[in-house]
Structure 1
Amino acid sequence: MTKQEMDATAEAYFTAVCAGDAERLRALFVDDVRWRIPKGAIEPYGGVHQGAEKIVGMMLGAVGESFVAGSQRFHVRTTLIGDDIVCKETEMTATAPDGRTYRNDYTFFFAFRDGSISEIREHVDTRYAAEFFG
């Protein structure tokens, strides 16, 4: 993949997650994709998860339960692109069902294989998330 193709695929990830589009999200992943989240994250998200269907379900399930449909947005602050990896520093905003605004910092590292995302390493302020959802 070219650097432009990797960047476009990473951007397509954000678009699919925000739209709650399972089919489009699944199409971006290799079958054995891995999703790494800090161990301190809210259960059951912390740790390493593997498998496209499982990960799509977890990602979209978390969004669907936690936020008003269509309210989630990623604002990309910085993009770094290497030979087979894209890093996106973002701020994610969304509206909780009770009307509160969720605003948290996320950094994503996307690794690629065979033209698709093979791993996502997600770094997030887990303390803020736990306090917001706690």
Structure 2
Amino acid sequence: MDFLTTSEAAEYLRLGERKLYELVADNAIPCSKVTGKWLFPRHELDRWVLSGLTRPEGMVPAAPPPIVGGSQDDLLEWALRQSGSGLASLTEGTESGVGRLMRGEVAAAAIHFHGEALGAEANIAAVRA
């Protein structure tokens, strides 16, 4: 993983360091503070810039990467391996997986519904949310 210092990140984004610090203070840019210094993962900065990308009407967005995000499921993991599909998995929970799917960051999202103890209405509410 490639990390940039504050000055490197400002230069990479073509921003002044003061503006970069404002974005950090507003929690508006991906970064991490390590031993008192801010570090910026280059790949996250790229994603951050692309997240605000506007496209002319009719322009088709790029295809999502061949990744299944969302909940961890042993059977799904096995099926992905056995199928030879080339799909990778990124298991970080239903909510994160669905969020990534909505942003076009994964090709599919694995989700788990609530058990019978919570009732069908809980599942409907979860899907709506």
TM-score range, shorter chain: under 0.3
TM score, norm. by length of structure 1: 0.21
Normalised to the residue count of structure 2, the TM-score between the two structures is 0.22
Q: Which has the higher strand share?
A: 1
More helix by percentage = 2
| Structure of greater relative contact order (alpha carbons < 8 Å, 6+ residues apart) | 1
